[in-house]
Amino acid sequence: MKFSKKVLSFITSVLVLTSAATFANGVSAKAATTDKPVELYYTKVVHDDAPAVAHYAGYIAVKNLSYDKKVIVHYNYTSLSQASNIWYTADASYVKNNTSDGNEVWKFETPSVYTNYGGLGDIQYYIEYDVNGQAFYDNNDGKNYKSSDFGASRPYVTSISGYARNDGSEYLSCYVATKKSVNPEAVRIRYTQDDWATYKEVDLTKSTNVYFNADSDSWIIDIPILSGKPVKFAAYYVVNGVQHWDNNLGDNYYFSF
C-alpha cells in the first residue's frame, strides 16, 4: 500500500467494540445486502511478533446457503522471490455472523514471510465458495484483488487517528476508500461520544492527495471531538438513496486518545 503527500496509519489506541451499537433512533447501522453469495470485505497486512515478518489477513462475506461449505482463497505473489505464475491456496474459516448485513464472516490468512525491511510482497487473489455442489467466485469483476484491498459493495475505513492542535482542541482524522466503479452520492461518518444517546453525521471530502490503491478513491475528514470522551463511529456511502456501511463487521469503530 502506497501513499503520496500524506501518510496514513492506524495508531495503537484504535480498539474494536465488542457489540453492535444501536443508534438514538433505535435503528442499527444496517449494511445494504448484496446478491453475491461471496464477496471480500477487506484484506490487511498483519505484522507478526518476529522482526520483519508479516502476512495478509482477509475477511469475507459469505451467504449461508448450507451448513456444509468451504471457502478458499487462491493467491500468488507478484513480488518477493516467489514466481508469480505459481498459485497457492489458503482455507478460510468461520468467524461469526454479521448481524448488520446478514452474512457470515470468514477469515483467511496467508503464511508469514520475511518482509525485507518492512515491505511485504504484493499478492493478487480471488475467492472460491463451494456449497451445495456449486462453486461461486469473487474475483473483483475479473481483475482479481491486489494486496490490501476491499470489496465494492461498501466503503472501507482505511485509517483512523487523532491529533490535538496548539489551542488544545482535539480532532479525529478518518480516511475512507470507495471503489472507482462506485459513484456515491455522499460518503459520511456517523459518530457519537455519548454511547449513541445522540449522534452526528459529517460528509467526507474526496481527496486527490491521498492514494490507497489504483482501484479506489480516497475520502477524508477531520472531526472536532470533545476532549476526554471516546468516539464510536461507522462510515457509509449512499448510492441511489441506499446506505452501504462499513461498521467494522457489525461492531462499529472505537477511538480514544
Whole-number pLDDT of residue 31: 62
Cα 156 to Cα 247: distance, rounded to the nearest angstrom: 9
Burial label, 123 (beta-carbon count in 10 A; 0-12, 13-18, 19+): buried
Q: What is the pLDDT of residue 56?
A: 95
Q: How many CB atoms lie within 10 A of CB 182?
A: 16
Are the C-beta atoms of residues 103 and 42 closer than 8 Å to each other?
no
The bridge status of strand 123-131 relative to strand 200-203 is unpaired
Residue 189 · residue 220 · CB < 8 Å? no
Please tell me what DSSP assigns to residue 222: E
Tell me, what amino acid is at 134?
A: Q
Residue 9: band (very low, low, confident or very high) from pLDDT cuts 50, 70, 90: very low
State the burial class of residue 40 (Cβ atoms within 10 Å of its Cβ: 0-12, 13-18, 19+). buried
Predicted confidence (pLDDT) per residue in 73-131, tens digit: 999 987 765 556 789 999 999 999 999 999 999 999 999 887 765 567 889 999 999 99
DSSP 194: S
Q: Which of 15, 11, 71 is nearest to 253 (CA)?
A: 15
Predicted pLDDT at 49? 82
pLDDT for residue 13: 33
Closest CA to 57 of 256, 249, 254, 252: 249
What's the pLDDT tens digit per position in 133-182? Answer: 999 999 999 999 999 999 999 999 999 999 999 998 999 999 999 999 99
d(CA 234, CA 252): 5
Domains and CATH numbers, the chain: 15-32+154-255 (2.60.40.2440), 38-146 (2.60.40.2440)
Q: Hunting for cell 462506485 — which residue is that?
A: 182
Q: Which of 90, 33, 35, 39 is nearest to 61 (CA)?
A: 39
Residues in the chain: 257
Could you tell me which residue, 85 or 18, shows the higher pLDDT?
85
- Is residue 225 within 8 A of residue 232, CB to CB? The reply is no
